Each structure stands twice: as structure tokens, then as C-alpha cells.
């Protein structure tokens, strides 16, 4: 009787695992071909120190993030070890992000 209980438990566990895996595969199939987020640049590339003959850049903008749900990263021009982050969202999402971000800064700075 104990051995039968072991097999019943093992089968139940296997069924739960099968169900969870199948559900994740179905969700992944729905996302296939859709861009969820894109990232451009890298904090390791020091683009502000690049000189192409007309001096150091004053501002960098990654044009490849001109779309929804995109982020750009680069080293900061202003502070050592700093990071500049660019964000591209549609207007509704950007307005919501700006409000949440501003409120978060107020909380942090007291």
C-alpha cells in the first residue's frame, strides 16, 4: 500500500509539472515575433569621450529606440561612474512613468 501511494504521488507531481510547462509554452508562443523591450547602447562604451574631429558630444540620443518600450544606456558625461538612461514609450505610458518617477524622487529626497 505504501508503494502505491508513492506512485500516485509521483504521478500527481508529474501532472502538475506537465501542466505548468505546457502553460508556459502557450504563453511563450503568444509572444513569439512580438518585441517586448529593446535595449540600445552599453554603459561600457564611453561615447562621450569619442572625438570624431569636431569635439566631444554634448548630448547622445539613441535613435534606434524611437519606438515603444525601448531603453538606451551610456556612460554619463557629467559624473564618473554615472549612467544615462533613455526611455521611449507611447505618450500614455510616458506620462504615467513620468508621474511615478517624479513621485518616487520626491519620496527619496524627502
**Please, are residues 47 and 53 in contact by the beta-carbon 8 Å criterion?**
no
Q: What is the pLDDT of residues 12-37, one digit of tens each?
A: 888 888 887 777 777 777 777 776 66
Residues in the chain: 110
Q: Report whether CATH 3.40.50.300 matches the domain 36-110.
A: no
Residue ranges of domains in the chain: 1-34, 36-110
Q: What angle do CA 39, 45, 47 make, to 5 degrees?
A: 100
Q: What is the pLDDT of residues 41-55, one digit of tens each?
A: 776 767 777 777 888
Q: Which three cell numbers stand for residue 69?
A: 518600450
- Predicted confidence (pLDDT) at residue 69 exceeds the cutoff of 60: yes
Amino acid at each position: 500500500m505504501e508503494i502505491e501511494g508513492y506512485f500516485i504521488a509521483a504521478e500527481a507531481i508529474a501532472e502538475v509539472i506537465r501542466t505548468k510547462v505546457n502553460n508556459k509554452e502557450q504563453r511563450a508562443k503568444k509572444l513569439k515575433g512580438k518585441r517586448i523591450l529593446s535595449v540600445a547602447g552599453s554603459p561600457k562604451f564611453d561615447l562621450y569621450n569619442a572625438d570624431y574631429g569636431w569635439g566631444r558630444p554634448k548630448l547622445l540620443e539613441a535613435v534606434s529606440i524611437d519606438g515603444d518600450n525601448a531603453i538606451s544606456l551610456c556612460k554619463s558625461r557629467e559624473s564618473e561612474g554615472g549612467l544615462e538612461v533613455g526611455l521611449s514609450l507611447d505618450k500614455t505610458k510616458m506620462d504615467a512613468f513620468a508621474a511615478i518617477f517624479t513621485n518616487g524622487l520626491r519620496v527619496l529626497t524627502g
